Amino acid sequence: MIRLREILWSPIAYRLAVGLLVAAASAVPATEARAAEAGVLRFRCTNPASGANWPVVVDLDRAVVDAWPASISDKRISWRDPKEGFYDLERATGKLQLRNASSTGGYFLYYTCRSE
């Protein structure tokens, strides 16, 4: 019995116990961060003609896309950027369409978005 007590209170056992507590404590924030990210979709959208691309972040919980208010359904995500125009993203295909009005009648641009 004395031998078991010596083993349990040895410096090695103490370090192991402290290490396990630290590992368990550090896992909690990582789990919370993943839970916070659960309502976020990240896309990389590319113009097939020019190859230009940029990230698009959709926050499903707050219904915003890149900080702009959005309309989100199972089929489509739509939002308006006052400087660029109206965006419509088809969730099933990843096709993104930009509609922009101008004094000459406006134009459409098409992009392809992939999940990151």
Tokens read off for 26: 């550090």
**What would the pLDDT profile of 17-69 be if each residue is shown by its tens digit?**
544 444 444 544 444 444 445 799 999 999 999 999 999 999 999 999 999 99
Element (H, E) at 19: helix 11-37
Task: Give strand pairing partners of 115.
Answer: 43
**What would the pLDDT profile of 76-92 be if each residue is shown by its tens digit?**
999 999 999 999 999 99
Q: What is the pTM of this model?
A: 0.66
For residues 57 and 67, is the Cβ–Cβ distance under 8 A?
no
Residue 45, helix vs strand vs coil: strand
Domain residue extents for the chain:
2-36, 39-115
